[in-house]
Amino acid sequence: MSRIQKVSLLAVIAASSVSLLAVQAAMAQDSPIDKVSTVTDDMLLNPPDGDWLMWRRTYDGWGYSPLDQINKGNVGQLQLAWSWAMTPGGRTQETPLVHDGIIYIQNSTHLIQALDGATGDLIWEYQYSLPDGVPPNGERSKAIYGDTLIVATRDAHIIALDTKTGKLVWDQQVADVKKGWGYSSGPIVANGVIIQGMTSCGNAQPGGCFYTGHDAKTGAELWRLYTIARGDTPEGNSWNGIPLESRHGGSAWITGSYDPDQNLVFAGVGQPYPWPAVLNGLLPKSADPNVTNDALYTNSTLAIDPTTGDLKWYHQYLATDTLDLDYVYERLLIDLPVDGQDTRTVVTTGKLGIIEAVDRTSGEWLWAKETVPQNVVASIDPETGVKTINPEVIPEIGKSTFNCPADPGGRAWQATAYSPRTQALYLPTVEFCSNTTVQPLDPGTIYTGGGRATFARVPVPDSDGNIGQVRAVRLTDLSDMWMYRQHAPVTSSTLPTAGGVVFVGTLDRHFLALDDETGAVLWTSPRLTNSLESFPVTYTANGKQYVAVVANWASGLGRLASLTPDVKLPPNNPAALYVFALPD
């Protein structure tokens, strides 16, 4: 080759390199990830309409979207825009988060991914390594704050990833997974502090669970608030004289809500363990007049100062729970008329399907409304909300009892939602009962974890076969607006929008759009690859509205499949993210 040819070839190579660099630079400039902005405290207070920055989108926990590009008039044209296969195995009850058109998801294996919300193209991914022996299960929620995506893990770590690159920023271990600790839901960031509830507290951990507050820049723990009362106080003496090391449960497994005006986080606490009170020491009741068996702070709302971790007040909904009927779920902060006065309330619904409101400034109980068939609560005190339990449902050793609803609850972890458009609460509910049997410990055996009860789930007496429902209740007067019923259980959270549509998913693999005023079915998706046990969201990318939902059934209300054997579920439990939009 001549020198001239060599020079020419070098020139071509150099020119090609320059062109490649130019293309890469142009691609980098056009990458949607470059447009991702810093999430500030002000942005969390007033999120952009097209973003979904936290579990229920806004601090008040409503799960409502102000988007209306998709509405009653055109939702029937909805079609699949794109889909994304997720890692198989394990379960996922995923809430995708969306910021500036980028959608962030966590797979059951703790593979965390950032996708282009308009196309589904992968932008980055980060694999968090779970220790041997920790099952691959996803988290229900995450948080975005500053330039980080904050994720809790199944091995009791909290990690922060750079939102643009997916690189690990920090990793904070909060508890020892070898002792049974772990997370199943993610944090909320309030007043610059990460608040995270500890879960997996059915593994006989002495003294139960807790909430922690963390520095958002480093993950360092700032405070810890225990969910099982201790000390020589009325609250600490509410465990029937059981020593602290024998008090179990109090899982904090659902993300709370935040009232910035009061600087208070409202968070739920689960039930005692083991479930039957005859096994956990709450029955028979102590004769000591200074001791109760309420088991604080189980089945309660805690009002927590996120800066200090101080408990400002609490309200317990169900004392001495003996049937795994916890009140741990979402707390909706809604201003409602009560006795003619506008009142700042916290509204929640436990497994019993009873909607309840308390004053969020004082914790005073306000009202209750029953929804699903139940035989557990015989009466509710109209002044205090204290419940009288039907003695026939209390589990006994050697005797099966019949209770409605069964342990997954008349409403399960699938969140309710509130629409300011209709002033209605939209509840996904199921109707079923249980023949319940205690699993006693052998004499001399030490409790090492588990619920220690068998729930043989059966239909409600005289059932019409429609196990799944969506109920709309107007909260201004507690009137029933409508009820949608179907045979297969309703297994996702509800998602109301300003377009007058309520989205919800079902065990029989369909995604539905209902009219928010009448409950009429406006659209049904084609049958998807799996049932929908997750939290649907809606967002915008490049000015277009999308609706996203994750398909997966390996837990939760999938356990009700025994009541609907005709509803066939797929082998190997495939998981996928489905994203729908109107045609261009």
DSSP 313-380: EEEESSTT--SS----S--EEEEEEETTEEEEEEEEE-TT-EEEEEETTT--EEEEEE-S---SEEEE
Contact in structure between 248 and 205 (CB atoms under 8 Å): yes
DSSP letters for 179-231: GT-B-SS--EEETTEEEEE-B-TTS--TT--EEEEEETTT--EEEEEESS--S
Binning pLDDT at 50, 70 and 90, where does residue 162 land? very high
Binning pLDDT at 50, 70 and 90, where does residue 554 land? low
pLDDT (0 to 100) of residue 19: 36
The model's pTM: 0.94
Contact in structure between 505 and 514 (CB atoms under 8 Å): no
Quote the percentage of the chain above a pLDDT of 70.
94
Give the three-state DSSP class for 157. Answer: strand
DSSP 435: E
Residue 428, CA distances (Å) to 245, 366, 483, 504 in order:
37, 23, 10, 8
How far is Cα 270 from Cα 253, in angstroms, rounded to an integer? 8
Contact in structure between 455 and 472 (CB atoms under 8 Å): no
For residue 487, what are its two tokens? 């045979």
Of 7-21, 426-440, 555-569, give the range with the top mean pLDDT.
426-440
- Does the pLDDT at position 571 exceed 90? no
Strand 264-268 relative to strand 300-304: parallel, antiparallel, unpaired? antiparallel
How far is Cα 437 from Cα 220, in angstroms, rounded to an integer? 44
Tell me the average pLDDT across 204-229: 97
Cis peptide before 274 (omega within 30 of 0): yes
Residue 466, CA distances (Å) to 31, 429, 440 in order:
47, 11, 34
- The dihedral sign for the CA sequence 504, 507, 509, 510: negative
Nearest to 145 by CA among 92, 193, 185, 208: 193
Strand 157-162 relative to strand 365-370: parallel, antiparallel, unpaired? unpaired
pLDDT (0 to 100) of residue 26: 36
Structure confidence by residue, pLDDT tens digits, 498-539:
999 999 999 999 999 999 999 999 999 999 999 999 999 999
On average, the pLDDT of the chain sits at 93
How far is Cα 442 from Cα 565, in angstroms, rounded to an integer? 35
Residue owning tokens 């059951």: 108
DSSP letters for 527-542: P-SS-B-S--EEEEET
Structure confidence by residue, pLDDT tens digits, 281-305:
999 999 999 999 999 999 999 999 9
Backbone φ, ψ for residue 44 (5° rounding):
-70, -35
Structure confidence by residue, pLDDT tens digits, 313-341:
999 999 999 999 999 999 999 999 999 99
How far is Cα 320 from Cα 329, in angstroms, rounded to an integer? 18
DSSP letters for 137-155: ---S--EEEBTEEEEE-TT
- Read off the amino acid at residue 53: L
- Does the pLDDT at position 557 exceed 80? no
How far is Cα 550 from Cα 557, in angstroms, rounded to an integer? 15
Cis peptide before 408 (omega within 30 of 0): no
For residue 242, what are its two tokens? 């059981």
For residue 251, what are its two tokens? 């899982």
